[in-house]
Structure 1
């Protein structure tokens, strides 16, 4: 494969990676990509299977030291980021992952999420009303971003006056999930990790003294057979809920509307039959995946289509490509809001399947529903630009008028 076709630092590729994915899928099931020193996996069946394969891990530190695994330890000055990230569900493996997920699940129950529906609908309606009152604006900053941040802040019991801190911290931390982040990105992530952790430490101390009806209080209370979450595990869980809990929702909201604007027949169909919204949201998640790539370390040699991928390697599972694989999705480049058979992997699979997926679906349903009902003539002002990130892929802005 020509390395120029898959180029996650090229704005033209980020704006439309799908033609390169077609080529990747046609040319094989696994490809070595020298610029990021990763093995790229583009097919749905392989991505789905490898997400569940315990020979791969989000971390290797539960089994190997850095040198033993053939890797260099991160610089000591990055420690605040790695402590924060390394104690969260996303980057842990069993048995720590199993224990923490079980405890977090006691606090973050389906009932807790279901109880949020009226709150989410109220916040979404208010944001859409503000957009309408202004005659339009940037859908990304007026609706897509504030909704999930407000919902997570409400869940955690973060006072309204402090909520403006959350999105910048989250954005700075998420910069480290891009490929080969530079030193300035690392500095911003370390600073945000330190500040966010210190802030949450104060909130947790306050909740220990004065429990409330919020998720932080529930995390403090969650225990099983004498086991509880440590303070660091609670901090890392709260940060992960915010980071993971809003990036997918923000980018699916703005990107989803841009997709609908480019498919006016499907938008018309949805406006005429808003009861299609549940399947429509799944199709928007599949069609333009907010998280394009998910990485795993190879803990034991594996074989993909006759190619040995050795221990110590990093595999890049291409969600965006898998969700457009014609072997699994008939006519995958066609947006079909009525697509019923749609097992996309935008929320992952296996033990790291997104804990917040039910909440993300509630948020997406609320914002799309409010916009369809209250802004029936919503239209774009101009073609938007894509932000520079590839792994977490989204628009810079989406200017609309009503």
Structure 2
């Protein structure tokens, strides 16, 4: 962090924070220095809870960036048009229309009906884990569970999951403010492949509709309007990726937090009714998505400074979730914390569409882990997965046993 003696806010680029193993001490420094930091060119970073929470739903900030920005970020690749079509990158009135139609497709009833499937999937994964004893919780549980769930949601067959999965992982490389050249190529190829794959699935659904998300997206209607073919394809691709990436991160970071705080794990064993509170605490304590960016559409005052139109405002979810002005002992993991108004699912019109599904998956999984395994211990050093967009683990070795540990 560069300190400017002229009285200007400190300067730090957001991506340097997301690449730290532990960014939270640096977040605390930035909050102490002020609510606003200078970032890269024409960029500001907001660090305190009250400002981030308000700005997440401020209509003067846009989520829809101009075509020139996407060309700068991703070059002349399919990533550019992909981000211009998905719901994440749209504002009113297009976003309102898309949200209503996709909200019909991802209905609460559809999510509730997945609950039984999720329970079965978790049981199977935990049986395999029990047979192994020592395993990589990321590779063996945190990654496969959300992928299988989102495949059920979209109607992707189990036979295709292994083929689809690496392309979805490569798509994740495109979720950065500026995509490095090599990752642009991988992300662009992933978009092209996934578009073709979803296109073929849609052709099948038109011939034989089902009760999956793709079939619902084809028939959803709002005031006589329906989703275009291109909007269905790209938003289905986005939902496939978003449906597993954030939940994988939540499961991985939540598990790591419990391994690092065995007293909190013991508390959940004694009082499993706190598991839903624990899920919210995992989301706050080590948010899967650390930052989200907006574009100023008109002058806006933030922390006593007026930000001009056309500037990028980076909202630090990770810092806001640890703001001592909002949370008591924010650096402490407290699985009983209630209320817990974290910002990890965003806010305003862009509040995460899949929040309820992520909560169900995490609740079923952590309930099963705690009930089935009296012993859950580290089996090696965890390995962080560092990136510009998501905070997770590449590996998390654990030892699970259906017998209590003996001292």
Q: Structure 1 length normalisation: TM-score? A: 0.93
Report the CA distance shift for 1:13/1:19 in structure 2 as closer, same or farther (over 3 A).
farther
Cross-structure match for 1:271: 269
- Give the gaps of 5 or more residues in structure 1: none
3-state SS, counterpart of residue 78 of structure 1: coil
3-state SS, counterpart of residue 80 of structure 2: helix
- Give the gaps of 5 or more residues in structure 2: 4-9, 401-407
Report how far residue 75 of structure 1 moved. 8.3
Cross-structure match for 1:32: 38
Of 291, 294, 300, the residue aligned with 1:293 is: 291
Deviations 1:321-375 (A, max 9, x none): 0000011111111111111110101000000000100000000011111111112
3-state SS, counterpart of residue 15 of structure 1: coil
Report the CA distance shift for 1:306/1:75 in structure 2 as closer, same or farther (over 3 A).
closer
Cross-structure match for 1:364: 362
3-state SS, counterpart of residue 400 of structure 1: strand
- Paired with 1:75 and 1:398, the residues of 2 have a C-alpha distance of 32
Report the CA distance shift for 1:37/1:392 in structure 2 as closer, same or farther (over 3 A).
farther
- Paired with 1:340 and 1:75, the residues of 2 have a C-alpha distance of 40
- Paired with 2:279 and 2:396, the residues of 1 have a C-alpha distance of 18
3-state SS, counterpart of residue 396 of structure 1: strand
Report the CA distance shift for 1:351/1:163 in structure 2 as closer, same or farther (over 3 A).
same
- Paired with 1:137 and 1:327, the residues of 2 have a C-alpha distance of 39
Cross-structure match for 1:56: 61
RMSD (Å) for aligned C-alpha atoms: 2.0
Report how far residue 261 of structure 1 moved. 1.0
Report how far residue 182 of structure 1 moved. 0.9
- Paired with 2:350 and 2:114, the residues of 1 have a C-alpha distance of 23
3-state SS, counterpart of residue 35 of structure 2: coil
- Paired with 2:22 and 2:388, the residues of 1 have a C-alpha distance of 10
- Paired with 1:179 and 1:233, the residues of 2 have a C-alpha distance of 22
Q: Give yes or no for the alignment of 1:228 onto 2:236.
A: no
- Paired with 1:241 and 1:321, the residues of 2 have a C-alpha distance of 26
Report how far residue 82 of structure 1 moved. 2.0
Cross-structure match for 1:348: 346
More displaced 10-residue stretch of structure 1: 254-263 or 76-85: 76-85
Q: Give yes or no for the alignment of 1:96 onto 2:101.
A: no
> How many residues end up aligned between the 2 structures?
394
Deviations 1:54-96 (A, max 9, x none): 11111144xxx74xxxx58448963411222221111111111
Deviations 1:223-272 (A, max 9, x none): 12321111111112212212222112111111111111111111110112
Q: Is 1:297–1:312's contact at 8 Å kept on the other side of the alignment?
A: yes
Report how far residue 99 of structure 1 moved. 0.3
Cross-structure match for 1:105: 103
Q: Give yes or no for the alignment of 1:261 onto 2:241.
A: no
- Paired with 2:120 and 2:74, the residues of 1 have a C-alpha distance of 45
